[in-house]
Each structure stands twice: as structure tokens, then as C-alpha cells.
């Protein structure tokens, strides 16, 4: 069962009771969009790169069908999609970044090492190389840099070397193969709270889906699309994303051209009750901003 993260906090900042047009940049199974519509949003445009997610969201949001426009698109194409619909400004915008629990749980997607699946990892399975293809084609230095930068894995060079060595014996094609290679490459020193393969899996997923690429440009574009009084909320799940969001929102505020004010001096985090109910919410951080009502 997929549970959207930090719904109450997102609604608190987005204030959909005032009505208007909202954008859910990562609609997933439709949980946040459903909450926005139930709380008073007039209409929601929902983006997702994952066609399976859009199909599920359509079923979740069936009762609100006339008030929802679901779009198969990367959220970084926000301006292009809104222009095509003749939308110049929106009253609220939500971006819940990163991989969703449904993608982690769905067999065959390759995001998780809890089962032995084909090593895909693409959020949009209609485009781009799979993780297996990316590993096959990259040189050792590129792999090491990716694993270090996006996974913050201090043993990145060992892991990259092990992957290249493994390729000489055959393609790395499944999550089980990848996890075994990484675990053997990383020295074990006592108990570790997380599986040794976790950081490498995160790094490869971010790399394959270009998750950090263009995030700052997207935030600038989103800020420029807010109507006076419009609000935006961004939920991140790892420090690399949160760092970009924090610094970009502050930079936009300092520029003063869009009239944006950051509403969260520090990121909001889930309540203990939510984390107990949904452990995957543990690493979530929410930041919010608002456009001034008077220019």
C-alpha cells in the first residue's frame, strides 16, 4: 500500500482550501493530488515520468476525473507543458522527489535488492538506458565518480573496480548480481544499520534517471509560474536533493525578481507517528516558499 509522505504538512503550506489550479509534479499513485482536491483545490495537473504510476493514479483519482489532468512527462518540462495548455500561472505546486515506495515494491523495476530482478531502475521505461546498460558502457572512473558523488560511498573506487572485473566474466544484469558484487567489494567492520549495497543502488538510480540534473532550473521555472499568493512545496529524500533545493530557493529569494519568500527557515520533517506508520518517510524533508501577493 503506497502512503504519500507528509500530507498534512504539504497541505498546511499549500493551503488548497482557497481553491485554484495546482500542479503535482510527481503524481505517483495520486495520494497527494487526492488530498489537494479533497481539501479544496479546484483543479490539479499531475505529472509523472512513470506510465504505470499514471495508470494507477487515474484509478485512484477516478472520482475527481473532471478536475485532474494527468500528463506523462518529466516535471522539468513544467514550462513546456503549461505553455501547451495555455496556463500562465498556478496557485500551488508540489514536487515529491525521488523514487516512490510503489516503484521500490513493484517486481521487475530493479530499484530494490530485496528481490532478484532485471537491473532496470528507470522511472520512465520508455526512454534512456537501463542501469544494466549504463554499468556495461561506463568506464571505471565514471562508475567510481557516480557512486561517490550520488551515493556518498567512500568505497566507490573499490566498488567500481569490482563492477569492471565482474563485467569481464559476464554482464551484470540483475539486482541480485549487483548487490552481491557491492557487498563483496566493501570491507565489513562490525554491525551496519544499512545494507552495504544501499548507497551504490541510490547512486545508480540517481544517475540513470538524471534526478539532480536541472533541478535548480526547474525550481526557478516553478517560482516564475506561481500566481501572486501562490505557494510551492518540495519534498526531498536525500541530502544531495535537499542541498540543491535549500540553496536554490534562497538564491531565488535573494534575486528578488520573482517575489518569492521561503516559508521554512529549516526543513520540516515527518512526525514520529508518521515514521512509525511509514518507515520510508524517515528521511523526508519538506521546504516551502510563497510568492508575494503584491509586486
DSSP string, 158-208: HHHHHHHHHHTTS---BHHHHHHHHHHHSPP-S--SS-TTHHHHHHHHHHH
List Cβ neighbours of 196 (8 Å cut-off, separation of 6 or more): 182, 183, 186, 188
Residue 3 CA: distances (Å) to CA of 29, 54, 62, 119, 236: 9, 16, 18, 25, 15
Question: What one-character DSSP code corresponds to residue 82?
Answer: H
pLDDT of residue 190: 67
pLDDT of residue 219: 96
38, 39, 44, 47: CA torsion to nearest 10: -80
pTM above 0.85, yes or no: yes
Rounded to an integer, the average pLDDT of 129-147 is: 97
Q: CA–CA separation, 139 vs 119, rounded Å?
A: 18
Cross-strand bridge partners of residue 186: none
Using alpha carbons, select from 10, 92, 97, 117 the residue that is nearest to residue 49.
97
pLDDT tens digits for 190-241? Answer: 667 789 999 999 999 999 999 999 999 999 999 999 999 999 999 999 999 9
Query: Binning pLDDT at 50, 70 and 90, where does residue 99 land?
Result: confident
Domains, the chain: 7-98+212-291 (3.40.50.150), 108-209 (1.10.150.170)
Alpha carbons 159 and 69: distance in angstroms, whole number: 43
Amino acid at each position: 500500500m503506497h502512503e504519500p509522505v507528509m500530507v498534512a504538512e504539504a497541505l498546511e503550506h499549500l493551503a488548497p482550501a482557497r481553491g485554484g489550479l495546482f500542479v503535482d509534479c510527481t503524481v505517483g499513485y495520486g495520494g497527494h493530488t487526492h488530498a489537494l482536491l479533497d481539501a479544496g483545490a479546484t483543479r490539479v495537473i499531475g505529472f509523472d515520468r512513470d506510465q504505470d504510476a499514471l495508470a494507477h493514479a487515474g484509478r485512484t483519482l477516478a472520482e475527481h476525473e473532471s478536475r485532474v489532468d494527468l500528463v506523462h512527462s518529466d516535471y522539468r518540462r513544467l514550462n513546456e507543458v503549461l505553455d501547451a495548455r495555455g496556463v500562465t500561472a498556478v496557485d500551488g505546486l508540489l514536487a515529491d522527489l525521488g523514487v516512490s515506495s510503489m516503484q521500490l515494491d513493484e517486481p521487475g523495476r530493479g530499484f530494490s535488492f530485496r528481490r532478484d530482478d532485471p537491473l532496470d531502475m528507470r522511472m520512465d521505461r520508455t526512454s534512456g538506458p537501463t542501469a544494466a546498460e549504463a554499468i556495461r558502457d561506463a568506464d571505471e572512473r565514471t562508475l567510481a565518480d557516480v557512486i561517490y558523488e550520488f551515493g556518498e560511498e567512500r568505497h566507490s573506487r573499490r566498488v567500481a573496480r569490482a563492477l569492471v572485473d565482474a563485467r569481464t566474466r559476464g554482464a551484470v544484469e540483475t539486482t541480485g548480481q549487483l548487490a552481491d558484487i557491492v557487498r563483496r567489494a566493501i570491507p565489513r567492520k562490525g554491525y551496519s544499520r544499512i545494507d552495504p549495497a544501499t548507497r551504490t543502488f541510490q547512486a545508480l538510480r540517481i544517475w540513470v534517471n538524471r534526478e539532480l540534473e536541472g533541478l535548480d532550473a526547474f525550481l526557478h521555472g516553478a517560482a516564475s509560474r506561481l500566481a501572486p499568493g501562490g505557494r510551492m512545496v518540495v519534498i526531498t529524500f536525500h541530502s544531495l536533493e535537499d542541498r540543491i533545493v535549500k540553496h536554490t530557493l534562497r538564491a531565488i529569494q535573494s534575486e528578488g525578481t520573482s517575489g518569492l519568500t521561503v516559508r521554512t527557515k529549516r526543513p520540516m520533517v515527518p512526525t514520529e507517528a508518521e515514521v512509525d506508520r511509514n518507515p520510508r518517510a524517515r528521511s523526508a524533508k519538506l521546504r516551502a516558499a510563497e510568492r508575494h501577493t503584491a509586486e
